[in-house]
A and B are shown apart, each in its own frame.
Chain A
Amino acid sequence: MIAIKLAYKNLVGAGLRTWLNVSVLSFAFVLMIFYNGMIEGWNRQARNDTQDWEIGQGQYWEPSFDRYDPYTYQDAHQVISEPIIQQIKKGLLTPILLVQANMYPQGRMQSVLLKGVDPKQNILKLPTSDLRFSSNETCAIIGKRLADENKLSVGDKVLVRWRDKNGMFDAIEIKIASIFKTDVPSVENGNMYLNIEVLQKMTGMTNEASILVAGKDSKLYDITNWDFKTPDFLLTDFDAMIQSKKAGGIIMSGLLLIIALLAIFDTQVLSIFRRQKEIGTYIAMGMTRSQVVGIFTVEGGAHSILAALVGAIYGIPLFIWLNKVGIPMAANSQDAGITIADTIYPYYSLDLIISSLLLVIISATIVSYMPARKIAKLKPTEALKGKIQ
């Protein structure tokens, strides 16, 4: 109690020096929470968007399918069994057939992955209903990026060539029924969505699919001859990217924190030199050396408490405001191929705030304790004279 009271009085008494240290430390504290909150917000939005647009509650893969190996796509398809059809009818699963192809927009050749989807599905956010009412023409929906890259608009026709089940080439002109926009680049990039029945007919793969996407109400269970992949597995790449972003954030926050802690360390060293007489007086009045070390440690550590309070004064309104309006991302940020919304809404969890607070308090206390240990070696008689030892 004495240590806390004395620390408070000394900190207030030190005036500008205290407030400079506290300001830098509070800035580090707020920035740490802001950055991590932004990454967490991004992470949550991106995971939700990826699940909504691409992976659902998990996927069942044809056993030979490997998303990283396009050579497997040719053979990665199998007949959908009757129990699965029942699940599809109930809206618990939706099948997707994958076929590699080339398209020829304006005479150029470009690889494209034809994805056969059920126009009636509601599991993914894809606007597949646009495929429902096609006339005699073969229609497809594509993402805005693919459309922009190839200068394709709604109603345009593009020649597409593919191999059928037996490896024979075939070609057809496909009409762009609609163009959609999503935050998930992997849904758009190089993908062309067709009615699954049409694609099955085009390839001779009647009633076949490459993957099955599980919906929200789907009770996940083993399906014979299909390998289940959890959302965590399907988001491995994204999680790795978020981890690397977090590591970058830790380095940045760490550097800022180190600067703030150096200022506290410096203040503590100066304090111990300047306040030798005071230290001697404490000892003369009957304090043990460890109690005096405690006073100086608490005093240094108290910077972090003040920093948290000051940080709260400007940080809380700032975070509330940011949470309301969000942080707009650069227009071309999705072109990097990562899932990122136009506006990120930071997410500040209690865990994040408490862990940041503990990190700042503990590290400030440690750097305060380090120079304070010197007090234990001071001779009280010399300290009373104010002699630097």
Chain B
Amino acid sequence: MNIIQLNNLVKKYPVGNGEFTALNDINLNFKEGEFTGLVGPSGSGKTTLLNIIGSLDSPSYGSAIVMNKSIAELSHKEAAMLRNQHIGFIFQTYNLLPVYTVFENVEFPLLLQNKNATQRKNAVMEALEWVGLTDKIKSKPSMLSGGECQRVAIARAMVKKPQIVLADEPTANLDSKNSHHILQTMQKLNKELGVTFLFSTHDEKVMQYLNRLISLEDGKVISDTIKNA
């Protein structure tokens, strides 16, 4: 079953008096439980594509259907609801809330879902167990290493058990050892929980973990390879 469908997707941005085409006629489908990477050089449209799938942006033309909802037709509130319920984000720079502890950072998406305190505590501890950070619950992000911060970000994205996790260059700021650790964690979560992972990356280390590799260049798909059928 396709969880994401992109049909003739075009995204243009106004630049000066003209327009810049960030995505050009993208046609892609993603099934539930995929572990897919969007690869390509900077400016190829990877992040733009993730933003549209994540309902942070909308297509100029064509359609993007995520969880049976057309992104272009969603209101701000409906888009927020889609992200709140079904989509987790992992960012290159972690984007943790600096004033919150690890526990509170991971708990945040559950507060938005109005879960009660017991539900939140159980879910947060479970998510921190997945990423091996149960001993750091009281630490602030400033007290953690880059790898630990990214693991907190993964726990935050996973704590609400979303259907889709969108990871924008998740290993770009990490060393080799931490990158492998992060990817192994995400791979494990993908297998155990069946969550669909969609990465943007140009990191070779990431590519070896991916099941499907989509190459983008100048906003166009130039290849779509399924590695392990």
Contact = CB atoms under 8 A, between A and B. Distances in A.
Interface of A: 1-2, 6, 9-10, 12-13, 277-278, 280-281, 283-289, 291, 379-381, 384
Contact of A9 (B47, B87, B100, B156): B100
Interface stretch (B28-36, B104-112, B180-188): B104-112
Contact of B57 (A285, A289, A381): A381
B56 A380 contact: yes
Contact of B84 (A285, A380, A384): A285
A211 B54 CA distance: 86
B95 A384 contact: yes
Given A10-B99, A381-B57, A288 B80 contact: yes
Interface string B82-116: 01110101010101011110000000110111000
Contact of A284 (B56, B93, B97): B56
Given A285-B83, A287-B112, A12 B99 contact: yes
11 contacts: A2-B108, A9-B99, A9-B100, A12-B99, A13-B98, A284-B83, A284-B89, A284-B91, A379-B57, A381-B51, A384-B56
Contacts of B156: 285
B76 interface: yes
B33 to A, nearest CB: 22
Given A380-B56, A381-B51, A286 B112 contact: yes
Interface of B: 47-48, 51, 54, 56-57, 76-77, 80-81, 83-85, 87, 89, 91, 93, 95, 97-100, 108-109, 111-113, 156
A280 B84 CA distance: 14
A285 B156 CA distance: 9
A134 to B, nearest CB: 83
Contacts of A379: 57
Query: What are the nearest 6 A-B pairs in CB distance?
Result: A286-B84, A13-B99, A9-B99, A281-B95, A286-B83, A288-B80
A286 B109 contact: yes
A223 to B, nearest CB: 72
Contacts of A284: 54, 56, 83, 89, 91, 95
Given A2-B111, A9-B100, A380-B56, A283 B80 contact: yes
Contact of B56 (A2, A13, A283): A283
B80 A286 contact: yes
A281 B97 contact: yes
A1 B110 CA distance: 13
Contacts of A280: 95
Contacts of B109: 285-286
A2 B114 CA distance: 10
Given A277-B93, A283-B80, A285-B112, 7 more contacts: A281-B89, A284-B91, A284-B95, A285-B156, A287-B80, A287-B112, A381-B48
A384 B47 CA distance: 11
Nearest to B78: A288
A278 B97 contact: yes
Contacts of A288: 76-77, 80
Contacts of A381: 47-48, 51, 56-57
A389 to B, nearest CB: 14
A286 B79 CA distance: 8
A69 to B, nearest CB: 71
Contacts of B111: 1-2
Contacts of A10: 99
A289 B80 CA distance: 9
B99 A285 contact: no
B152 to A, nearest CB: 13
A283 B84 CA distance: 9
A230 to B, nearest CB: 60
A1 B76 CA distance: 22
Nearest to B54: A284
A384 B76 CA distance: 16
Contacts of A277: 93, 95
B133 to A, nearest CB: 19
A9 B100 CA distance: 7
Contacts of A285: 83-84, 89, 108-109, 112, 156
Contacts of B56: 283-284, 380-381, 384
Nearest to B97: A278
A283 B93 CA distance: 16
Contacts of B57: 379-381
Most A CB contacts (10 A, CB to CB) among B85, B99, B112 go to B99
A379 B99 CA distance: 24
A24 to B, nearest CB: 23
A289 B76 contact: yes
A170 B112 CA distance: 94
Nearest to A288: B80
Nearest to A12: B99
A291 B47 CA distance: 25
B85 A286 contact: yes
A286 B100 CA distance: 18
Contacts of B98: 13
A101 to B, nearest CB: 79
Contacts of B80: 283, 286-289, 291
A384 B91 contact: yes
B15 to A, nearest CB: 14
A381 B168 CA distance: 12
A265 to B, nearest CB: 21
Most B CB contacts (10 A, CB to CB) among A13, A281, A379 go to A281
A277 to B, nearest CB: 6
